[in-house]
């Protein structure tokens, strides 16, 4: 959920600030890019050098940035626009009050008031401070602003008292943020089935019939679906690519027959299915158990037709939203529409080998999305990660997520 996110961590002057070193490490481990702002009082509890080393970014403490023979300033507006998420932890009673009442006397607060992203805050203070009506009023006001409270826990406090006010542990903060993000994603609780890559049809133990598909489009679709909250089963033919995400189960196959059986093992329970694999239409009728020796100037191989995986999915379709791919070289639009109707698809993604930036082995693609109501949308050339997001946005736009 946090992979690729730009997180701006604001640290204020409470004893719980010592935990932020562990928090930064966890955010980095989750795949986030982290920048840190410290208030002046936070400098008493944690050092900029430690946080800069862990975050791999300079730590900011004030508006003015002095270097040898030069003076610059830290732009709070740029920082607020840079962030996908702002997290203030620990958030002291003093900072909470300023946030709630519009007081702006340091870089952290100026950035908070400039932020356009979700703001999470994790209060940390002593028991009586946390229970004080002024603090409760600040918390309520901030939540009314749309800021997201990470509740304080109970435990032993710096004063020696035991009770509420202890900042959530770093692991709890990260989990809270992940759960919150997951709950707002459009593919939450959706099961997505995607096929990717080529299939290899054996001639003998050494040789095969295949194609030039790398599987990149299918793998980017799987990653996009996972980032949007989906639980993904990715059935891939031979490919060197990986999809490391707890939300993606990768099922490796080789032949079209293996892919057929794998697809129908998962198809019935899925909500959205996208067939991006370049499946071999034919396979050798007989596979030699031994390597075929060179004998003569020609070699004849009899081929038989493989089962049409996408057609079988269309025949068995119930609640699934089914999307196919069409790679065409002539009469592209008409051929794609015919395939959509013939195979009982809900939509088809057309790409043409006549587009130099589309097709096998490319990092980019140029697509046209066509649905069963003949609504057509053509996109410019984009990298395949962006194309994958465009495809899911079209599915979501049509109310199928």
Supply the residues annotated as catalytic: 211
CA geometry: angle at 376 spanning 272 and 327, to 5°?
Answer: 70
By CB atoms closer than 10 A (0-12, 13-18, 19+), residue 184 is: exposed
205 phi-psi bin (left φ>0, alpha ψ -120 to 50, beta other): alpha
- Are residues 217 and 243 in contact, defined by beta-carbon separation less than 8 angstroms? no
> CA-CA distances (angstroms) from residue 341 to 292, 319, 344?
42, 17, 5
Spatial distance between the Cα atoms of 26 and 204, rounded to a whole number of angstroms: 49
Q: Whose CA is closest to 185, among 232, 121, 152? A: 232
φ, ψ of residue 96 in degrees (nearest 5): -60, -40
The radius of gyration of the chain's CA atoms, rounded to the nearest angstrom, is 27
Rounded Cα–Cα distance for residues 245 and 184 (Å):
19
**Cα 127 to Cα 121: distance, rounded to the nearest angstrom:** 18
Q: Which residues of 177-260 form beta strands (DSSP E)?
A: 191-196, 201-202, 208-209, 231-236, 248-252
Q: Which residues pair with 352 in a beta bridge?
A: 328
Instruction: Please tell me the distance from the alpha carbon of residue 46 to that of residue 19, in angstroms, as a whole number.
Output: 9
DSSP state of 198: B
Which residue carries 């195979």 as its tokens? 343
DSSP string, 384-399: HHHHHHHHHHHHHHTT
């Amino acid at each position: 959920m946090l992979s690729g996110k730009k997180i701006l961590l604001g640290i204020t002057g409470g004893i719980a600030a010592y935990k932020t070193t562990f928090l930064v490490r966890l955010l980095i481990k989750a795949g986030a890019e982290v920048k840190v702002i410290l208030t002046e009082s936070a400098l008493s509890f944690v050092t900029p050098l430690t946080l800069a080393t862990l975050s791999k970014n300079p730590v900011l403490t004030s508006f003015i940035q002095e270097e040898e023979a030069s003076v610059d300033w830290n732009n709070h507006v740029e920082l607020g626009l840079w962030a996908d998420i702002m997290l203030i932890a620990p958030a002291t009673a003093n900072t909470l009050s300023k946030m709630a009442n519009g007081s702006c006397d340091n870089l952290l607060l100026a950035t908070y008031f400039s932020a356009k992203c979700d703001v999470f805050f994790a209060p940390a203070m002593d028991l009586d401070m946390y229970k004080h009506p002024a603090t409760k009023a600040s918390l309520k006001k901030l939540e009314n602003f749309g800021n997201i409270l990470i509740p304080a826990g109970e435990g032993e406090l710096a004063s020696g008292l035991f009770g509420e006010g202890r900042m959530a542990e770093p692991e709890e903060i990260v989990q809270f943020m992940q759960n919150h993000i997951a709950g707002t994603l459009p593919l939450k609780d959706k099961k997505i089935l995607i096929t990717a890559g080529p299939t290899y049809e054996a001639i003998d133990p050494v040789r095969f019939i295949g194609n030039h598909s790398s599987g990149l489009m299918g793998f980017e679709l799987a990653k996009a679906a996972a980032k949007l909250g989906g639980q993904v089963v990715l059935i891939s033919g031979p490919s060197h690519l990986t999809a490391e995400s707890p939300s993606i189960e990768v099922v490796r196959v080789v032949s079209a027959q293996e892919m057929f059986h794998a697809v129908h093992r998962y198809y019935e329970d899925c909500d959205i299915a996208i067939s991006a694999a370049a499946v071999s239409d034919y396979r050798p009728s007989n596979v030699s158990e031994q390597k075929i020796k060179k004998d003569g100037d020609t070699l004849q191989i009899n081929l038989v037709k493989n089962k049409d995986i996408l057609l079988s999915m269309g025949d068995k379709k119930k609640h699934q939203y089914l999307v196919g791919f069409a790679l065409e070289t002539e009469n592209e639009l008409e051929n794609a529409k015919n395939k959509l109707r013939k195979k009982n698809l809900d939509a088809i993604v057309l790409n043409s080998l006549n587009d130099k930036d589309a097709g096998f082995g490319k990092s980019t693609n140029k697509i046209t999305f066509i649905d069963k109501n003949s609504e057509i949308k053509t996109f410019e050339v984009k990298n395949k990660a962006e194309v994958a997001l465009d495809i899911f946005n079209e599915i979501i736009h049509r109310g199928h997520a």
